[in-house]
Structure 1
């Protein structure tokens, strides 16, 4: 079968796409944003790149930096229309299935084309907050409902988003809940016992939906002595977080390191760090099922995790195998759960055993490969 995948250039998408390798399908990828060069991570896929600009003119990046207004004017003339290009691709490839990942960036831009080709099966994978927070992203209820009416098959990364889709009129086939990256290769050799775990890992995203700043504030509410046996590692740290940490006297008194978001960290190295971490803290006001949550629990790190729309509660039972943050904007609450996690070694030991078994059973990549292959077979029956 011919499968046309539609997505932005994204690590999680590449991981999902690779689950289709050697499954016997002819697979294409339309990079809907046309960002960057061909991906080396999915060399086996027919990649549709370089479609957006009519002419990659000299000094383009310089003009963009010096005169954004002039650059936008030029690009309005220079950029090809997504709908026009995608229509031609559909007619050329004649796919049996179009599978888009994320609604706002990938699904809505091609919706009008898919409405013109209703015989082509259309699958949509919800990602992160695209369903949960669609209004805040400027997408109207009418647009969401129109989009879902065209979708034949739905995949979500949490049960919450399936319920939201149904509430917005989705009535077609639900294929199930799967991690957005198609599963995780847990490096079990790197899973350390509680006594050897000396890191507290903090996810450092700070944006519209991500609030690492509140974790940083929470840490400073606790006694320095709480961290005497730990090194705080703030990874994927945005510039605002780096500045906040570097200017805080608290962090001059405790062992810590910052890994900037712009620094590439291989996934295997990240998993190894999680396997050495006592606690993993992540805080968002909007998200789906965080891949970092699934990665960290599978490597035995105790999760202190925000819970937008109760998505994280599908994995974490508060006080049993982690702590759930009810108010991601309340640094006092976050501080309470971090302090309890540090002090309760027995709970962390119990949670580690529960979480590793949970992850191995539900999120292991090798197991999910078969299920994902069967999922596509189900579509083509």
Structure 2
């Protein structure tokens, strides 16, 4: 089967697509952001890039820097529209199916083309805030309601988003709830460190649009004495979080480390050493970092926008759910519970060891390949 992927370059997309290697399909990728060829990643996939400019003329970068007004004018006549470039590629490769990842990035921009080709099946993978967050904005909701009736097949990372999709016009076939970046690789023969041997409190450091790391840090501030014997690691810290730490007393704490974006393998390393993982946001699907915490033994304390996290965390059993992502006292109380209730963290560790079996890479991969095969046979 010829599968045409439409996506921005992202870790989720790379990990999902890698599941299809050597599965007997021809895979093409229309890089919706036209950000150049990705060497060393998906080399076996035929990538469509450098499609935006009609002519990449000498001196273009210099003109853009020194004569911005002239550059903007040139762009108006030297730029291919996304729908036109995509349609040309569609005609060139004649795919059996198109698969778009993230509605507002990779669906709306090609919707007019897909409407002109109603016989080509269209798969849409919903990520994170795709539907839950953006349904609250008129312009985005209009896009959601325009795209979903044309979509033939749907993957989501939580059951919540399937319900939302049905509300806004999806009438196709639901292919299931699967992690947006595929399953997780771990050595089932190598035991994880038990909670008693872990001394890291790991915090996802996103603030920005949906992340709410700062309320977590404010909760941490109230527990300085209680966490003296732990190493607090804030990873993926964005500018707002870095500035907050810089302007607060916690910058002087010997046991806090604030780091920016790190590689996936480094995140997993921290998860394997963390007693507690805290992820807090006002919008998400089923967070991949929460799933990583479950798979690698960290006790998850996670926000629960729209009830998505509750699909895998039973509050007070295999983790704790944050009801209000802005409530510092609630987060503080959850962290205190996790630090003091050894029985809870030990039982959660054992429960999550069982849950992670369903999230293992080959298990998820088999479900993904079966879904594509079912499409191919129809």
Pairwise TM-score range, normalised by the shorter structure: over 0.9
Once residues 374 and 5 of structure 2 are traced to their aligned partners in structure 1, the CA distance between those partners, rounded to angstroms, is 17
Once residues 67 and 269 of structure 1 are traced to their aligned partners in structure 2, the CA distance between those partners, rounded to angstroms, is 42
- Contact conserved, 2:104 with 2:143, CA < 8 A, in 1? no
Confirm or deny that 1:331 pairs with 2:328: yes
Once residues 255 and 298 of structure 2 are traced to their aligned partners in structure 1, the CA distance between those partners, rounded to angstroms, is 19
Deviations 1:170-224 (A, max 9, x none): 12110100000011113553721112101000001111111111111111122x2
Aligned to 2:274: 277
Equivalenced residues, count? 376
Once residues 342 and 34 of structure 2 are traced to their aligned partners in structure 1, the CA distance between those partners, rounded to angstroms, is 48
CA deviation after TM superposition for structure 1 residue 30, in Å: 0.5
Once residues 270 and 248 of structure 1 are traced to their aligned partners in structure 2, the CA distance between those partners, rounded to angstroms, is 25
Relative distance call for 1:173 and 1:230 in structure 2 (3 A) is same
**Could you list the runs of 5+ residues in structure 2 that have no partner in the other structure?**
none
2:319 to 322, 342, 355: 322
Once residues 367 and 52 of structure 1 are traced to their aligned partners in structure 2, the CA distance between those partners, rounded to angstroms, is 38
Deviations 1:267-308 (A, max 9, x none): 233212101100000111011111101011110100110011
Relative distance call for 1:69 and 1:299 in structure 2 (3 A) is farther
For residues 248-327 of structure 1, the aligned pairs below 5 Å read 248-261=248-261, 264-265=262-263, 267-327=264-324
Once residues 314 and 62 of structure 2 are traced to their aligned partners in structure 1, the CA distance between those partners, rounded to angstroms, is 51
Aligned to 2:46: 46
Q: Secondary structure at the match of 1:379?
A: helix
CA deviation after TM superposition for structure 1 residue 312, in Å: 0.4
Q: Could you tell me the TM-score, scaled by structure 1's length?
A: 0.93
CA deviation after TM superposition for structure 1 residue 141, in Å: 3.3
For residues 239-250 of structure 1, the aligned pairs below 5 Å read 239-250=239-250
Aligned to 1:205: 206
For residues 123-138 of structure 1, the aligned pairs below 5 Å read 123-136=123-136
Aligned to 1:342: 339
Once residues 237 and 154 of structure 1 are traced to their aligned partners in structure 2, the CA distance between those partners, rounded to angstroms, is 32
Aligned to 1:194: 195
Deviates more, 1:136-145 or 1:16-25: 136-145
Aligned to 1:376: 372
Once residues 57 and 217 of structure 2 are traced to their aligned partners in structure 1, the CA distance between those partners, rounded to angstroms, is 43
Once residues 62 and 299 of structure 2 are traced to their aligned partners in structure 1, the CA distance between those partners, rounded to angstroms, is 46
CA deviation after TM superposition for structure 1 residue 345, in Å: 1.5
- Contact conserved, 1:131 with 1:164, CA < 8 A, in 2? yes
CA deviation after TM superposition for structure 1 residue 53, in Å: 2.3
Q: Could you tell me the TM-score, scaled by structure 2's length?
A: 0.94
CA deviation after TM superposition for structure 1 residue 62, in Å: 6.9
Once residues 334 and 135 of structure 2 are traced to their aligned partners in structure 1, the CA distance between those partners, rounded to angstroms, is 30
**Could you list the runs of 5+ residues in structure 1 that have no partner in the other structure?**
none
